Structure 1
């Protein structure tokens, strides 16, 4: 693999603009190469001389005498790099090219070194900022470890009051000396506590409380009652275990940050080395050694804080959380990435082929046997279609999600970071496609078996007909068993994350809203028909003798009541989530977003009333409310969620930053989104298509909405990713277990007492 491709692959997606512009420098080198090409035409005499030169003696491996060797030190005469102090007292570099202006390619070479200096200064400044960030966080982690070790001593009744503490964590540089290490911001020097310093280890417990991690209903009610989110220390073993687990997460995340920062430094240093070698090869001037000396002296090449921090974090983590078992302790710090297994690809293709074959078999059987025109069979098939459509919606949504993952990876959208997935557990598009194709095979095979059993609905085959009616229920139970299976099979971690998000969404607004939660709730707003299919399952199998269809179910008042409620649940969840974020974050945009979902709730209720009761007044109200909701939702999709329709953008009515190079994709997507949003109005206008039943037409509209949601997912996450890129946000913020309070004042008092003494 060429370095340019590997360099791009190794980049932190959110920091792309902070890396050295390797391709830009290569383009300037290409200009230099073109400017140095001789302009003389190829004359016949020159052509003959070139051919005769092929017959000259071979001397490629001979070593030239010293007097005839090229001067290796002439590079000192090619460039001169001068440091200067710029803003914020930081050192920057400027290179002067020691060439005559008339030399071939001189102006372009000046342009090259000007660009090279800009990139070095940019990269060094960014690296310094990131190192300062991790050092500040390291200082905070020192305090957290102080409190943790003091709590551990207190719980285990091992406090030694008034004696020297080997656990005092002022700077984390005593790692190699047996004491608990602390993360130091003092230029990497190891500092141990002097023998005369005898602080009280347990004193720190007087200044800390436990940050309340609970985010459920109890914390919500406490917030309403204006109780403190923090709680006093109870010095119990359960509390110690909870703090220890939370600190593990904090240190694991901090270690991942250090790895990213270190990799950033390494890849940019390598890029500078590679581009200077290309410069020498292009110009035959020896300047790489001189310039790389400056690069090595810069903050980018000279700072080793991150490497030392990583070593000390490893030592601390292994010692205090895994009893010095390095083999086990390094596993969470260096998690293995999910490997792409060939069997996943094989079974995905196998199930996909089976699904296509089953669809063809069902179509041929229905047409050959003329099932839809035989006595009571059409009514039965309509019921089966209503039951099996649930799996159609789920499979289609999973296929769209697999497509989104493929596109996110192709355009380097860091979806795992955005969704806060644990490293190594996120599903790729192959795994999602495997699950969707497997579920499709299960549903289609059972549907085909159902048709075979019900074709001859005679008295002798009554038992077969009864069994056929239960098949959809069995498939649904199998699906639920797989979803809630506690064993470590079929991507258990991903299944549990999904179930957790579903639960948190249902309990809105009692839980703090994360991107996972509201993103899933948005998916549910496109699955209203699937939710109603679940209600139809309950009605179909709960009544004696199984009702004949949804028309029969609508005779029950309870069914109609839930038919209203279930349709608005997804929108109501999003409405409550927006209110929670409005109160919690104080951003008015969440209030405007809540209005959007409230309008959708009103439109769905009125439209459902019209669907059940009919009548011109209800039709007008449903049409007006639906049109207003469609307009508001469409505007929000394009402007807020996708970040498009920017008037002052350099891309006409798009964003300044686009991941897809073809701008037409965005214009087409906007038009398709508007059209698919407008299909919502068909529930009111009730368009009819010849040869297509009402149930099939409604299912088609629902499938189009799922497709629109899949398209929305890609551009929504692209916009989120670009917002992270603009803020260089590549780290997760993990809440710390301890909260310090009142310590500074007490420390000042202690200092005054010492002075008095």
Structure 2
């Protein structure tokens, strides 16, 4: 693979603009090469070099002294790099081209100007990020001090804390302050350490002062100073649970005092563990950023020497190596310290386990996933054809009894059709997100190494398809073949059994069938149901938006309850004839929009941005439109029709504008891409115009449920099912461009890491800053 493609793949997607622009420099070198090719016959330097090369030894093993190399470099030197010191002690590099006017080509001067610009850009970005992580490391240091003191207070309140400080600090000599504001240097001498399975420590520690004698009085003062940290910290209330949200509303306080309980210690350790993992990932990406950029500078200078036939790589790369990105070792030092601290405190000194958590391996694509995906796809197609042939052969749709039976059974199995269609669209989106280098695992907040690929999602959808179609075929065959009414009731329990199996697999606690992804979905679903008691993340409101397109599937679940819970033995009576069913028929259609409305309210109070108020009003208007439209479906009154038509049009216009302008970020004024936005992930611009038109058309398609166009081919529930599928397709298209816009916003802010709140807050320092 060429370095240009490899360099592109190695980039952090959110930092793309901060990397060296390798392709632009290559284009300048192409111009230099074209100019050189035109001058080949009249270039004496090239001819002389070719002649001299004929007399070189074949092996190329001749030995040259260092003095000869340095003198030849000075003679062939064509550039001089000037270092300028700015007011903030940052260095800026400026390269002067030393070639004669005949030799000095404008393209080569432009090349070095652009090269200096890229070097200064990379150095500035890297320095800013390193300063940022140094500040975060200092903050983590304070968090660890509080954690150590809390561990001593909770686990061993009567035991000295020397062992903990010994394990934590990277140096053995510790400087500490005592009560009378004097300080001394001390060494900790650990005589015996016994670690139990529960993580507690039993030890005998000798506290040795700088003179080498034991001093019990100083050790007692040291212990008291260590535990004094707990008097200046509180627990950050992150409002991540319903109880924490309720307490925050009642107490009107974001922090809570320490209670020194085992549960509190476990909570703090879990939160700080996540902070360390995210911080280490940031350090790792920074280190990789430095490495690939240095490699890019080396490669581009080698290409320059090859194209321009001038020696400049060694002198320029010396400047690059001496620059901040080439000489700074802060990131490596902090990484070593983070590794040591994490292994000792969060992995019980098991380095292998600790590094496994810090550096999770990427999931490898397995051939069996591809095989079973194809196998299940073929089985699904075969089962679908078998069902169609069975219906045609038995004339199911012509017999009145069988037609009524199909109308009752169709909603029971259409639930899986909606889910499968949505999953297929999600798999397609994952494929195109990867093609466009959209960092969907980071945006959704997936744990590194657990995100599903499009092959995994396709396999799951095809497996569910085989299960649903196979059950439906068996059910239909048993119903048509059954003559004795004794088995009829048992046959109708087949769809219920399929639902039970599906729910059991979804909530299965065993580590099988993508447990991490299943539980991530369950957690997001719980956050949606309990809105607004949970803090709203992007994954939460993204799932709630998907649920707004699955209203018909939710109504299928209501039909399950009606069919099996109330009247599964009464074949002739329809659920729509029950008043209670009609009430819940409206309620279940409102639930997804109500969830999004509550999420917008929560975000409005937390983020104080009025855009969430407008977004919430959009969902509230949609709720009104859905209620009136559903009432019209049940009553078929002209007054309800007019109201449903007006509300539906208003909701469609509002939602269409929000989709295109707010969610997708298109139709921006003064954009360099007309009617679009400045940054685009898809190279073909016509795609954006197509999806905008498609979104409007699919939004307007819902007016069919109000206007009731006479479509002869579609009868009964087939019409609502068709438009439900169209809405799911619209949501699938929306999904890609919504995440693309979120990704580009992260790119604009260089936001490539999850923001994890720290567990402790030092409230005295915060008060001092406020004063």
Aligned to 1:683: 705
Count of aligned pairs between the two proteins: 720
Query: Which residue in 2 is equivalent to 1:567?
Result: 589
Paired with 2:77 and 2:374, the residues of 1 have a C-alpha distance of 63
* Distance change in 2, residues 1:575/1:296 (3 Å): same
**2:498 corresponding residue in structure 1:** 475
Matches within 5 A, 1:371-390: 371-390=396-415
Alignment check: 8 A CA contact 2:76 2:310 kept: no
For the Cα contact (< 8 Å) 1:20–1:120, is it kept in 2? Answer: yes
Residues 1:636 and 2:658 are matched in the alignment: yes
Alpha-carbon displacement from aligned partner over 1:659-701 (angstroms, at most 9, x marks no partner): 1000000000100001001111111011222222131111010
Number of the residue aligned with 1:345: 370
Q: Secondary structure, in 3 states, of the residue corresponding to 1:94?
A: strand
2:550 equivalent to 1:542 = no
Deviations 1:396-423 (A, max 9, x none): 0000111111111111111110011110
The aligned counterpart of 1:406 is 431
SS of residue matched to 1:222? helix
Determine the structure 2 residue equivalent to 1:108: 107
CA deviation profile, 1:94-145 (whole Å, cap 9, x unmatched): 0011112322x71111111111000000000000000000000001011111
1:140 maps to which residue? 139
Q: Give the whole-Å Cα distance in 1 for the aligned partners of 2:513 and 2:175.
A: 41
**Partners of 1:166 and 1:179 within 8 A in 2:** no
* Distance of 1:362 and 1:236 partners within structure 2: 61
- Alpha carbons of structure 1 residues 191 and 108: separation in structure 2 relative to 1, 3 Å: farther
Asked whether 1:716 is paired with 2:741, we answer no
Partner of 2:117: 118
Cα shift at 1:342: 1.2
Quote the Cα distance in structure 1 between the aligned partners of 2:725 and 2:75: 67
Secondary structure class of the residue paired with 1:376: helix
Aligned to 1:674: 696
Is the 1:100–1:106 Cα contact (8 Å) retained in structure 2? no
SS in structure 2 of the partner of residue 385 of structure 1: helix
Map of 1:23-422 to 2, 5 A cutoff?
Answer: 23-38=23-38, 60-61=58-59, 72-74=72-74, 77-86=77-86, 88-103=88-103, 106-157=105-156, 167=165, 174-177=169-172, 195=210, 200-422=225-447
Provide Cα deviations, 1:329-373, integer angstroms capped at 9, x if missing partner: 221111111111111111111111111111122222222332211
2: distance between equivalents of 1:177 and 1:66? 48
Return 490-499 or 219-228, whichever deviates more: 219-228
In the other structure, the counterpart of 2:524 is 501
CA positional deviation for 1:218: 2.0
- Kindly report which structure 2 residues correspond to 1:597-746, keeping only aligned pairs within 5 A, or say none: 597-743=619-765
The match for 1:583 is: 605
Q: 1:228, CA displacement in angstroms? A: 2.1
Distance 1:469 1:89, change over 3 A: same
Distance change (3 Å), C-alpha of 1:376 and 1:662: same
1:167–1:201 CA contact under 8 A, matched in 2: no
Residues 453 and 464, structure 1, Cα contact 8 Å, conserved in 2: no
Separation (CA, whole Å) in 1 of partners of 2:456 and 2:601: 35
| Cα gap change, 1:22 to 1:618, in 2 (>3 Å) | same
Structure 1 position 305, deviation (Å):
0.1
Higher alpha-carbon deviation: 526-535 or 681-690: 681-690
Q: For residues 446-480 of structure 1, give each alpha carbon's deviation from its aligned partner in whole angstroms, at most 9, with x where no partner exists.
A: 1111221222453x3x3454333222111111110
Deviation at 1:57, TM superposition (A): 11
| Cα deviation, residue 41, structure 1 | 9.6
CA contact (8 A) 2:665 2:677 kept: yes
SS at match of 1:373: coil
C-alpha deviation, 1:632, in angstroms:
0.1
Q: Compared with structure 1, are the counterparts of its residues 543 and 243 closer, same or farther at alpha carbon in structure 2 (3 Å cutoff)? A: closer
CA distance in 2, matches of 1:229, 1:744: 13
CA shift digits 1:687-733 (9 cap, x unpaired): 22222213111101000000000100000000000000000001111
SS in 2 for 1:530: helix
> CA 1:562 to 1:289, structure 2 compared with 1: closer, same or farther past 3 Å?
same
CA-CA distance at 1:543 after TM superposition: 3.0
Whether the aligned pair in 2 keeps the contact of 1:20 and 1:268 (CA below 8 Å) is yes
Structure 1 partner of 2:17: 17
Structure 1 unaligned residues grouped into runs of 5+: 43-48, 182-189, 748-757
CA 1:127–1:515 in 2, change beyond 3 Å: closer, same or farther? same
Question: 2:19 & 2:401 partners in 1: Cα distance?
Answer: 69
Shift of 1:221: 2.1
Q: Retained in 1: the 8 A contact 2:383–2:469?
A: yes
- CA distance in structure 2 between the partners assigned to 1:222 and 1:703 by the alignment: 43
The change in CA–CA distance for 1:192 and 1:708 in structure 2 (over 3 A counts) is: farther
CA contact (8 A) 2:173 2:186 kept: no
Q: For the Cα contact (< 8 Å) 1:547–1:553, is it kept in 2? A: no
Cα distance in 1 for residues equivalent to 2:369 and 2:120:
46
CA distance in 2, matches of 1:520, 1:294: 50
Distance 1:217 1:66 in 2: 75
> Whole-Å Cα distance in 2 between the matches of residues 715 and 62 of structure 1?
57
Q: Any gaps of 5 or more consecutive residues in structure 2?
A: 177-184, 189-208, 212-217
With over 3 angstroms needed to count, the CA separation of the structure-2 counterparts of 1:283 and 1:587, relative to structure 1, is: same
Say which of 446, 453, 461 aligns to 1:436.
461
Give the deviation of 1:156 after TM superposition: 3.3
When residues 58 and 514 of structure 1 are mapped into structure 2, their CA distance, relative to the original with a 3 A threshold, is closer
Partner of 1:755: none
- In 2, the alpha carbon distance for the partners of 1:668 and 1:265 equals 40
Offset, 1:60: 4.5
CA distance in 2, matches of 1:684, 1:744: 59
For the residues of structure 2 that align with 1:491 and 1:463, how far apart are their CA atoms?
41
